[in-house]
Amino acid sequence: MYYRVKILLACMVLNIPLRKKFAIPYVKTAFNLFYNCIYKYSKKKLIKLLKFKPFAVIFEQFVSEGQMERMLENDVTFSSNLEAYQENFQNLLTIVRA
């Protein structure tokens, strides 16, 4: 699983160089899920990304280690409507854990 999480993080950060590695089906899947969710957003694509196990691991760790709370509390936009954003993140976490 660690290798797959590493590939997903690489897709998120260095998507252009990874295009050359599309011969590896997993890399193509990870890249396409992330790219389509971010640049061709829809709720259906977000849910598909959240259910992608390597992304689920990253998201679960982000939430469980308190990073989500720190981000929400320290950002002006998020903190102005903190309860709504906390509820939305919890809804996303429910999708990840399903």
- Report helix, strand and coil shares of the chain as percent, to nearest 5: 85, 0, 15
Q: Where along the chain do its domains lie?
A: 2-97
Distance, CA of 31 to CA of 97 (rounded, Å): 22
Distance, CA of 12 to CA of 35 (rounded, Å): 8
Report the amino acid identity of residue 38: I
Distance, CA of 41 to CA of 38 (rounded, Å): 6
Percent of the chain past pLDDT 90, that is, above it, reads 1
Lowest mean pLDDT among 14-23, 59-68, 82-91: 14-23
Residue, of 57 and 2, whose pLDDT is higher: 57
pLDDT band for position 22 (cuts 50, 70, 90): low
pLDDT digits (tens, 9 = 90+) for 46-81: 888 889 988 899 889 888 888 888 888 888 888 888
